[in-house]
Amino acid sequence: MRLKHIKDADKIIMASPYLINEPTKYKKKWNKLFNNNNDIEIEIGTGKGKFIISKALNNPNINYIGIEKYDSPLVSAVKKLEDINISNLKLICFDAYNINDIFDKEISKIYLNFSDPWPKKRHEKRRLTSKNFIDKYDGIFKNKKTIEIKTDNDDLYEYSIDSFINNGYEVIKTDTNYLDEYRTEYEDKFISKGKNINYILVVKK
């Protein structure tokens, strides 16, 4: 799906108190930024922010960071937050390929919601559940590694299960007709059209 470009998106998101402008400065210091020692959970590909905002509002004892590569989707997220004060939420406009530049053994859980499936074989390394990215994730987890995935793409679902097993993760739960309490904008759209949602929960100790 082509992203809609929003004029001055970079300026709009930079004006938000939730946006962390230079996230590399906070590597190994995220708990100091949140001013507590609570667990930190991240969503890679946070889009318009509905999922991560709902998570933060309903789980005040967990810190959340939404990571989005493109600035235009984050405009919707910061607009949702204009009249809300959430102390346990931050947003980052950053390419997750370089995620090890901003975190080091600090994260408790990763959410991958409706990631680009990159269906062509030559693009496999771009998939967020490829070994290429799993190796990066292993370096940012604090203790036990926990990843939750939701996707409408059946091929990515099957690929991700195999990929995580092959890289030492244990599959705790799978579901091909998952209904989550916390949903993304894409998820609402898919469900309204009758599309099944695939879910995976994996851990690695």
**116: annotated active-site residue:** yes
Instruction: Give the H/E segment covering residue 53.
Output: helix 50-58
Cβ atoms 179, 198 nearer than 8 A? no
Q: Of these residues, 10, 104, 116, 180, which one is catalytic?
A: 116
Helix or strand or coil: residue 88?
A: coil
Cβ atoms 15, 42 nearer than 8 A? no
What is the distance of C-alpha 104 from the center of its chain?
16
Cβ atoms 109, 146 nearer than 8 A? yes
CB atoms within 10 A of CB 145: 22
CB atoms within 10 A of CB 52: 28
What residues are labeled active site? 116
